[in-house]
């Protein structure tokens, strides 16, 4: 083996070319909006998981609480849509949350084919205590963003979401 050859699998020193390639790849992803959105969602989710874990709750349960706190008495399908969950995961979580007295499920009066879900007082208390943690997290996310920038960002995100549903 000559001096410039290396055995297979051995690490080679990082040079300027490697750094340039890494920088080019990073730049490519920094200019790709779906990647930036996915990365931000990943960062937010990891942060949320940790904060909720300390409070003894998981993200699935938080989403259910949050959706119901915005207006409970809604159907399973509405929760699935608003919380972006699969029905099987929602059904399991609701069953456990009902046993723990965080939610209650009631057949709709005018149409027994539908089940409406409501927060109990215990569920609302849990939501209110967790909402403080989540709102602090949102403040951290939005730090340094002006009200005008925030209004523009929300409008753009909503428009992009509508574009994807057409």
**Secondary structure of residue 131 in the 3-state scheme:** helix
Instruction: List pLDDT tens digits, range 15-60.
Output: 666 665 565 556 667 888 889 989 998 988 888 888 888 878 898 9
Token pair belonging to 15: 């040079």
Token pair belonging to 4: 């410039």
Instruction: List pLDDT tens digits, range 68-120.
Output: 999 889 999 999 999 989 999 999 999 999 999 999 999 988 888 899 999 99
CA dist 117 and 108 (Å) reads: 10
């Amino acid at each position: 083996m000559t001096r410039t050859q290396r055995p297979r699998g051995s690490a080679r020193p990082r040079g300027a070319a490697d750094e340039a390639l890494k920088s080019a790849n990073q730049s490519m992803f920094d200019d790709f909006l779906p990647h930036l959105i996915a990365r931000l969602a990943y960062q937010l989710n990891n942060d949320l998981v940790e904060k909720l874990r300390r409070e003894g709750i998981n993200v699935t349960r938080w989403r259910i609480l949050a959706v119901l706190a915005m207006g409970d008495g809604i159907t399973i399908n509405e929760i699935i849509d608003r919380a972006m969950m699969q029905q099987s995961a929602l059904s399991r979580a609701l069953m456990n949350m009902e046993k723990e007295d965080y939610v209650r499920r009631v057949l709709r009066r005018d149409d027994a084919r539908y089940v409406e879900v409501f927060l109990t007082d215990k569920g609302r208390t849990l939501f209110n205590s967790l909402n403080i943690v989540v709102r602090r997290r949102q403040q951290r996310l939005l730090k340094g963003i002006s009200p005008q920038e925030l209004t523009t960002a929300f409008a753009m995100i909503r428009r992009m979401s509508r574009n994807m549903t057409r």
